[in-house]
């Protein structure tokens, strides 16, 4: 998984909030699907601009991510560049389209382990669960750093 950061958590929560509030959702539309909504948050582009960028090459987000080339100059590859620069990985984005990342699915409630990838409520749950997982990692890193600093300070006092 990508390095956990507050920015990633905020982007995931903002995307989930927009979807939960009723923002247009259509899994078959490259700008209104799971990755399309996250791309809207990260890039601030409209769903139309993202969808138009995707039409330069064949395939859904999974196929586009598989064929991604940072040097292609293709419009969707430039959007993917922005998402990767923001901190997401191609693997995470590929899993987002099908709500299938094993670490995120493992953190879902027991009765929600089998999400439907094109169901708005399941997308919202997945995004919020992913954000919670990253928040847990941030807290764990803070705790480890604080412990190391305390242990190091005690060692120098001795």
Q: Please provide the distance, in angstroms rounded to a whole number, between the alpha carbons at the two ends of the chain.
A: 39
pLDDT at res. 41: 98
The rounded mean pLDDT for the chain is: 91
Residue from 122, 63, 125, 128 nearest 94 by CA:
63
Q: 110 and 129 in contact (C-beta within 8 Å)?
A: no
**Res. 58 pLDDT band, cuts 50 70 90:** confident
Confidence check: pLDDT of 3 > 90: no
pLDDT at res. 1: 74
Find the range with the poorest average confidence among 35-44, 85-94, 102-111, 135-144. Answer: 135-144
Per-residue model confidence as pLDDT tens digits over 60-78: 999 999 999 999 999 999 9
**Res. 104 pLDDT band, cuts 50 70 90:** very high
Q: 123 and 25 in contact (C-beta within 8 Å)?
A: yes
pTM for the predicted model, two decimal places: 0.88
Distance, in Å, from the CA atom of 59 to the CA atom of 57, rounded to the nearest integer, reads: 7
Torsion angles phi and psi, residue 103, rounded to 5: -70, -35
pLDDT at res. 2: 73
Residue spans per domain, the chain: 6-157
pLDDT at res. 105: 97
């Amino acid at each position: 998984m990508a390095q956990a950061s507050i920015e990633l958590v905020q982007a995931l929560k903002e995307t989930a909030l927009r979807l939960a509030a009723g923002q247009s959702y259509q899994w078959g539309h490259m700008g209104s699907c799971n990755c399309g909504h996250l791309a809207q948050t990260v890039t601030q582009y409209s769903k139309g601009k993202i969808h138009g960028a995707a039409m330069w090459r064949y395939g859904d987000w999974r196929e586009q991510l598989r064929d991604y080339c940072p040097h292609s100059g293709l419009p969707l590859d430039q959007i993917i560049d922005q998402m990767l620069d923001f901190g997401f990985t191609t693997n995470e984005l590929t899993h987002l389209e099908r709500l299938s990342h094993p670490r995120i699915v493992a953190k879902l409630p027991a009765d929600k382990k089998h999400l439907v990838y094109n169901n708005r409520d399941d997308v919202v749950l997945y995004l919020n669960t992913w954000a919670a997982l990253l928040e847990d990692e941030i807290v764990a890193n803070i705790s480890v750093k604080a412990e190391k600093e305390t242990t190091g300070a005690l060692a120098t006092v001795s």
